[in-house]
Amino acid sequence: MCKKVIVSVINDLVSDQRVHRTCSTLFDMGFDVCLIGRELSESKNLEPRTYKTHRMKLFFETGAKFYAEYNIRLFFYLLFNKYSILHSNDLDTLLANYLAHKVKGGKLVYDSHEYFLEVPELIARPRVKKIWGAIERFIFPYLKHVFTVNKSIADIYEAEYGIPVKIMRNVPMLQNDTSIQLKTKQELGLPENKKIILLQGAGINVDRGSEEILTAMQWIDAVFLIVGSGDVLPKLKEMVKNLNLTDKVIFTGRVPFQKLQEYTKIADVGVTVDKDTNLNYRYSLPNKLFDYIHADIPVIASNLIEVSRVISTYQVGLVLTNHEPSKMAEEINSFLQNEILFSQAKKNTSKAKLLLNWSVEKDVLIKEYESLF
């Protein structure tokens, strides 16, 4: 009889590709996998998956009551269901998993997708941060099987708690390029005679550099395509009007994954320009970086530790000096106009994605799970 793994995450399961890849890999290894999350009032239906899923409907959807209700409900679910392994994703699911593990036994695996205690939402709320910090300090020293997304965060946890942390980057599956139906710029409503600079993401928020690069577009001969959502978009749209950039900036809003791939493939470069305003951003390794590489487009990025490490290691783009708009424009223009450097960076993305993909990265997960028994 195969061993059962209960994987828990606090989102609604629809778009969490890291967790989906993890569950699919564990299922392929022969485990009986059940992924647990929550169902929001606006949650979309889940597409069929190879593994089981369970979404809990909660009374609260935000705030302290939501986190408390989720962990209480999750604890009792784990208490009354059989499992061999509990796989907790991020600190907001860890308490319920740890308590169930202490009561019922079984193995406990923890996957930290970011430097949780330094996310902007907690920095601005010191009392809430103190509570989450107490939970982390209470549990973390007793963990034996821990993953995180990059070396910087792994080093912090190892220094803080003295336990080994495995690095499992959030890289995409390697796709067969022929499986993506490419569309022309004209079909996507984009100008054919201009280079396309793409910013994609579901978290286009304040302090992520979008305001600065939009300002820099005054001096860049290209079109800035913004695909996604975030709290800074209203401000960006107002800036476009004030700076008279309506012919150089295009907003699409959120689009389906297939459409996002079409935009990414047709772009000339992708940008990820988070600012070093908090430790979570400083040590981040955004998913979009790997999405750009897998779409065979060079990357223009801010000088953050993990992002610049990837770009310099694989020579796939440009690391900007700072966030001063005129300087950004100068460096971006120079990169776009240097045909030899730009062409080489584009060629290097094709090589890099053969190493930076889930088929390679999943070995970290497989080896750790094979060591559990």
Say which residue, 273 or 15, is predicted with more confidence. Answer: 273
pLDDT band per the 50, 70, 90 thresholds, residue 310: very high
Q: pLDDT (tens digit, 9 = 90+) per residue, 273-286?
A: 999 998 989 999 99
Q: Which domains does the chain have, with CATH numbers?
A: 4-173+358-370 (3.40.50.2000), 177-352 (3.40.50.2000)
d(CA 356, CA 291): 10
* Predicted local distance difference test score (pLDDT) of residue 321: 97
The encoded tokens of residue 325 equal 């708009």
> Quick one: CA torsion of 76, 81, 83, 85, rounded to 10 degrees?
-20
* Predicted local distance difference test score (pLDDT) of residue 41: 85
The answer on pLDDT for 313 being more than 80 is: yes
Residue 265, Cβ neighbours under 10 Å: how many?
A: 18
* Predicted local distance difference test score (pLDDT) of residue 139: 98
Which residue, chain included where needed, has tokens 């950004």? 328
> Best-predicted range by mean pLDDT among 12-16, 46-50, 292-296?
292-296
Sign of CA dihedral 122, 123, 126, 132: positive
pLDDT band per the 50, 70, 90 thresholds, residue 128: very high
* Predicted local distance difference test score (pLDDT) of residue 218: 97
Say which residue, 311 or 373, is predicted with more confidence. Answer: 311
Name residue 111's beta-bridge partners: 89, 147
d(CA 321, CA 303): 7
Mean pLDDT of 120-137: 93
The answer on pLDDT for 178 being more than 80 is: no
d(CA 132, CA 141): 15
Say which residue, 231 or 99, is predicted with more confidence. Answer: 99
This prediction's pTM: 0.90
The answer on pLDDT for 254 being more than 90 is: no
Mean pLDDT of 84-91: 98
d(CA 170, CA 172): 7
* Predicted local distance difference test score (pLDDT) of residue 225: 97
* Predicted local distance difference test score (pLDDT) of residue 57: 94
pLDDT band per the 50, 70, 90 thresholds, residue 258: confident
d(CA 267, CA 36): 36
Q: pLDDT (tens digit, 9 = 90+) per residue, 144-153?
A: 999 999 999 9
Q: Residue 62 to residues 59, 73, 95: CA-CA distances in angstroms?
A: 10, 15, 18
Mean pLDDT of 216-229: 95
Angle subtended by helix axes 91-104 and 63-79, to nearest 10: 30
pLDDT band per the 50, 70, 90 thresholds, residue 370: very high
Say which residue, 180 or 300, is predicted with more confidence. Answer: 300
Residue 167, Cβ neighbours under 10 Å: how many?
A: 16
* Predicted local distance difference test score (pLDDT) of residue 177: 63
The answer on pLDDT for 189 being more than 70 is: yes
Please report which residue ranges of the chain form alpha helices under DSSP H.
17-28, 63-79, 91-104, 120-123, 126-139, 151-161, 210-216, 233-242, 257-266, 279-282, 287-294, 305-314, 325-337, 339-352, 358-370
* Predicted local distance difference test score (pLDDT) of residue 342: 97
Mean pLDDT of the chain: 94
pLDDT band per the 50, 70, 90 thresholds, residue 179: low
The answer on pLDDT for 180 being more than 80 is: no
Q: At CB < 8 A and 24+ separation, what contacts does 309-318 make?
A: 309/151, 310/285, 310/356, 314/348, 314/349, 314/351, 314/352, 314/355, 314/356, 315/344, 315/345, 315/348, 316/345, 316/348, 316/349, 316/352, 317/269, 317/345, 318/345
* Predicted local distance difference test score (pLDDT) of residue 360: 97
Q: pLDDT (tens digit, 9 = 90+) per residue, 323-364?
A: 999 999 999 999 999 999 999 999 999 999 999 999 999 999
